[in-house]
Amino acid sequence: MKKILIRSLFLPVFLFFSFITADHNIVGHWITYTPDNSPVYVDFNSDGTFKVTVDGQIENQGNYRLSNDTFSMYDNNCGIQLAGKYKLNFYTEDSLSFSLIEDSCTERVGEVNGGVIKRIQ
């Protein structure tokens, strides 16, 4: 009976904290892979810039903004004024995927939408 009472006291606290969302931080060094299993590195900097590196060469770079789970990016390949918006789906603090919200740059949609990246420790 005592165990049931203790558990029932902790249940509301557990339920309260289970609905609190964490602020996620994407700053850091991330990796994903091309269909032929070649590594692609993505670096998100704290100043709102990013770069994508393949085979030691910068493939793309630009700026990003993160507001809650909405990721907006402006890159050189699609034009620095043309925003792409994606929902970030965090699996863990070190693993996430991108889901299209809106983006008129079809090349970027093909590369980003559905992509999964993992943080490199």
Q: What is the mean pLDDT of the chain?
A: 86
- State which amino acid sits at residue 75: D
One CATH from 1.10.3720.10, 1.10.3370.10, 3.40.50.1980, 2.40.128.640 for 23-119: 2.40.128.640
Structure tokens given for 15? 């339920």
pTM of the predicted structure, to 2 decimals: 0.79
84-102 pLDDT per residue, tens: 999 999 999 999 999 999 9
In the chain, where the domains are located: 23-119
Q: What is the C-alpha separation between 1 and 5, in angstroms, rounded?
A: 6
Examine the pLDDT at 51 and tell me if it is beyond 50: yes
CB under 8 Å, gap of 24 or more: what pairs does 38-46 form? Answer: 41/120, 42/117
65-81 pLDDT per residue, tens: 999 999 999 999 999 99
